């Protein structure tokens, strides 16, 4: 086998949560381009159709499932729909999430719990649902953040806590499911990429971080998506329990 063939996702079914916008769209397109059929999940069901059109334009099948990952029953229903449509689930990309920047002394219990519920608990419920049906050779890719590894000058207690917890969850599930179920579990820690989330930052914020970006620029979503495809594919067949920072060097600056 040619080494490049290891990066293909031909014949696989990839579930992408948070697939209605931003990086979720990039992940869905990249996996489809690598040969996978895609299950698209998000709360905003109407916007999933746009992502589905992009997947189908690449010659792959797409299934849209309205899913709020904070509800375990909805995660189970999403997986049931995927199994009914495709017969198997091979990859999960836990992308659904929200970000906040609220000073700790003003953050309400509701605000904190909402971030934890979506970013951490939602990832767990989706993982649990997919893990029940995944076969050996499957892969789970959790989306953490460099904010789970370092700080970036904003008051992000809930967000940083949720993303740091994702890293711990990744390690634990990797050791639970490695030899017993043959499922690899990894995470990526994205740096700064232009998305709907970064549009909430104050003017000039990203520019102010440029001195911490060793490569001197923000990231292109396709660079992040390429890492996701690698972790999903057989090319990363001996990689599990790892968190890969894709951050232009922010965490070493």
Please report how many Cα atoms fall inside a 13 Å half-sphere around the Cα of residue 252, on the Cβ side: 7
φ/ψ of 183, rounded to 5, equals -105, 130
- 159, 201, 205, 238: which is the annotated catalytic residue? 159
For the chain, the first-to-last Cα distance in angstroms comes to 39
Residue 159 annotated as catalytic: yes
Max CA separation in the chain (angstroms): 57
Spell out a b/e string for 211-233, using b for 16 or more CB atoms within 10 Å of the CB, else e.
Answer: ebbeeeebbebeebbbbbbbbbb
CA distance 190 to 35: 24
Active site residues: 159
């Amino acid at each position: 086998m040619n080494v490049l063939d290891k990066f293909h996702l031909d014949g696989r079914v990839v579930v992408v949560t948070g697939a209605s916008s931003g990086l979720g769209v990039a992940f869905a397109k990249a996996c489809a381009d690598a040969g996978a059929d895609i299950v698209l999940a998000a709360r905003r069901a109407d916007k999933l159709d746009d992502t589905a059109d992009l997947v189908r334009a690449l010659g792959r099948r797409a299934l849209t499932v309205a899913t709020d990952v904070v509800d375990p029953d909805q995660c189970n229903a999403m997986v049931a729909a995927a199994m009914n449509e495709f017969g198997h689930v091979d990859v999960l990309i836990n992308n659904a999430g929200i970000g906040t920047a609220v000073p700790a002394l003003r953050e309400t219990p509701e605000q904190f719990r909402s971030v934890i519920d979506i970013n951490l608990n939602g990832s767990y419920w989706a993982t649990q649902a997919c893990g029940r049906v995944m076969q050996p050779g499957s892969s789970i890719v959790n989306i953490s953040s460099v904010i789970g590894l370092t700080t970036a000058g904003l008051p992000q207690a809930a967000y940083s806590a949720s993303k740091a917890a994702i890293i711990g969850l990744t390690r634990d599930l990797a050791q639970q499911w490695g030899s017993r179920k043959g499922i690899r579990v990894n995470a990526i820690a994205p740096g700064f990429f232009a998305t709907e989330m970064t549009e909430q930052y104050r003017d000039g914020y990203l520019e102010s971080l440029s001195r911490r970006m060793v490569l001197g620029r923000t990231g292109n979503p396709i660079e992040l998506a390429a890492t996701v495809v690698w972790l999903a594919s057989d090319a990363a067949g001996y990689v599990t329990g790892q968190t890969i920072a894709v951050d232009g060097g922010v965490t070493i600056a």
